Copies of this chain bind each other. A is one copy, B any other.
Amino acid sequence: MPALPLPEDVFLEAFARAPTRELAPGQVLLAAGAPADEVFNILDGMLMMSRTGSDGRRQVLSFLFRDNFIGLTTADRYYFTIQAVTPARVACRPRADFESRLLRDPEADRTFRNMTLRVLEDLLDKIYSLGQRTALERLAVFLLYLRHSRRLADGLVEDGSPALGDVSLPMTREDIADYLGLQKETVSRSFGQLEKRGLIRRLDSHRVQLLDLGRLRALAGVVDFASPQRLPRS
């Protein structure tokens, strides 16, 4: 499995005494094609999972934050690349150790299965985005998603104190573009558009302030996960 948010205590424990590794921005943690023999847990920083076609087109598959799990696949080689966006620290375990732990500990296995299911559900959202939403909508979703992820990573689940709508964007415009299935120029223009509409303010090119969460959510077409919203066809 590629990368799982929302880990559980069982996994924090599994990485408790594990050796750590420091990564500089841009540095590759693991490259597509390499033997998949390690798994990781992010201790700090932001990483990025991507896949690049032979013709150079790149799709950024996800951004990863503290406590996200990285590296398990069904194959014996990674088929995606993971690199640091900000300076980062990860804990490392041999894949075999981790897998045997899942075998020995049904509770851990169950937890891991649920993590995987949640990631899978997130990917379905992303597919909806790429298939159906416009550039502007995708960017709105992205900003809300980033805000949410950073909050989780910082342990502020409730709508609390810290800098109301400030979101930091350590990745480049091209990283964002490749994540959203757009070009970097389009991303830039979409930021402009959101600012013109008064939904955000650009503090600098790596920092925006969300001015109107309500209208951003409306634009994103968010899906209140509590209530059903979709109808069957015919």
Contacts and interface: CB of A to CB of B under 8 A. Distances in A.
Interface of A: 1-2, 24-28, 31-34, 50-59, 61, 72-75, 77, 79-81, 83, 102-103, 106, 109-110, 112-114, 116-121, 123-124, 126-128, 130-132, 175, 178, 180-181, 221, 223-234
Given A81-B230, A226-B54, A74 B132 contact: no
Given A1-B117, A109-B113, A232 B83 contact: yes
A52 B229 contact: yes
24 contacts: A1-B120, A2-B124, A27-B232, A31-B227, A31-B232, A32-B226, A32-B228, A32-B232, A33-B225, A51-B223, A51-B230, A53-B221, A54-B223, A56-B226, A57-B132, A58-B229, A73-B121, A74-B114, A80-B230, A83-B230, A102-B113, A113-B113, A127-B127, A130-B181
Nearest to A55: B221
B116 A25 contact: no
Given A109-B109, A130-B127, A121 B79 contact: yes
A132 to B, nearest CB: 4
Contact of A121 (B74, B102, B223): B74
A230 B124 contact: no
